[in-house]
Amino acid sequence: MKKPPLILTNILVFIITGAIALLAVPLWAVTMGFETSEVVVAVILFYFTGMSITAGYHRLWSHKTYDANIVVRVILAIGGAMALQNSILHWASDHRIHHRHVDDNDKDPYSAKKGLWFAHIGWMLREYQTHRYADYSNCRDLQKDPVVMWQHKYYLPIVLVANFGITGLLGWINGDILSMMLVAGVFRLFLVHHVTFFINSLAHFWGSQPFTDKNSARDNGILAFFTFGEGYHNYHHIFEYDYRNGIHWWQFDPTKWLIRGLSFTGLAHNLRRVPEERIEKARAAMQLQKASARLSTQPNADELLSKVQHEYELLMQKMSAYYAAKKRLMNVRKRSLKRSVERLEIDFHYKELKNALALQKEKWLRLQSLSPQFS
């Protein structure tokens, strides 16, 4: 079968930036050295351009997980262009196709089923789907955003000005244009490219699947550290409209923190979150599936499977009752600050259900590990 034609521009970009980053920058570091200010600028631009992709291209425009002020949108559009990963419109279109047809070798632009190399960078080296450059019908909403269309129309000039103009100006101010452009320009670009590419590649191969196994996406805290919080990819693929990827406070997700911080200043609003009940039920459903598969090989499999199913159903019932009571309590608190008899009764009932759910969760977790008292 004849292979699709190569995309020479992309190949040259990856070869040239890779050669400079891996050969020229280390040689310069050994022979000439880099100033602390140059390294600091490189780190700042690394986070700025990387999070322009994650907070902008990905969570703002591709998934509409929040709304942002036009100033924020313009800044993220410039930072995204500086990351050199195509325009917002094109990137979001590809990404929406990926989510709709994840792991489908014929339709997913960077299907992990085609291998790690293909998902990481190979899909950008050949014209596998030429229609991607003409059909943006899945992004009609974005075509109404003037910032998106401005960036799409003037993408190349913005790329050149952002990458050469900004780093060149900072180098001139610092006293060494070439040195600044090497580390804060090319080396930073090389790093941003590959850590964000990890989301398409490694995040579909390495990690756990606590929420769903219907696709190859994985949760990986190590990857989250390098990908600005995007490593919690299994969660993202089942709950793509949540502005968070790391849902717990201790999970490293600087993109989530940035969006939340912008909301405190009024620069972002309408932050979308998946209800806790849906998250807990998705996790429990996966635990049931894994436990059932493990227990099916045991000598007394029927008895164990029946017990696990029974406890799972109890867990679902108690979860539903608890979250219904929690919602009712929140509504009562909104209506009145006074501790009325109605509110006290609801509060008491809520605490009872909360304790009952906690006990059931403990029992459920013991079942997962096949503790002797439940075997």
- Segments making up each domain of the chain, as ranges: 8-269, 279-374
In this predicted structure, what is the pLDDT of residue 336?
66
In this predicted structure, what is the pLDDT of residue 364?
86
274 token code pair: 């998946």
* Residue 231: partners with Cβ closer than 8 Å, 6 or more residues away: 199, 203, 207, 219, 220, 221, 222, 223, 224, 225, 245, 252
In this predicted structure, what is the pLDDT of residue 372?
38
Residue 268 pairs with which residues in a beta bridge? 68
d(Cα 132, Cα 113) in Å, to the nearest integer?
A: 20
In this predicted structure, what is the pLDDT of residue 153?
97
Q: Give the residue carrying structure tokens 């190349």.
A: 156
User: Per-10-residue mean pLDDT for the chain, 375 residues long?
Assistant: 86 97 97 96 98 98 98 98 97 96 94 96 87 83 97 97 95 96 97 97 96 96 97 97 96 98 97 96 93 83 86 93 89 70 79 90 79 40
In this predicted structure, what is the pLDDT of residue 295?
81
In this predicted structure, what is the pLDDT of residue 374?
42
DSSP symbol at 369: T
pTM: 0.91
Residue 6 pairs with which residues in a beta bridge? 126
* Residue 341: partners with Cβ closer than 8 Å, 6 or more residues away: none
Nearest to 329 by CA among 361, 359, 354: 354
d(Cα 192, Cα 58) in Å, to the nearest integer?
A: 14
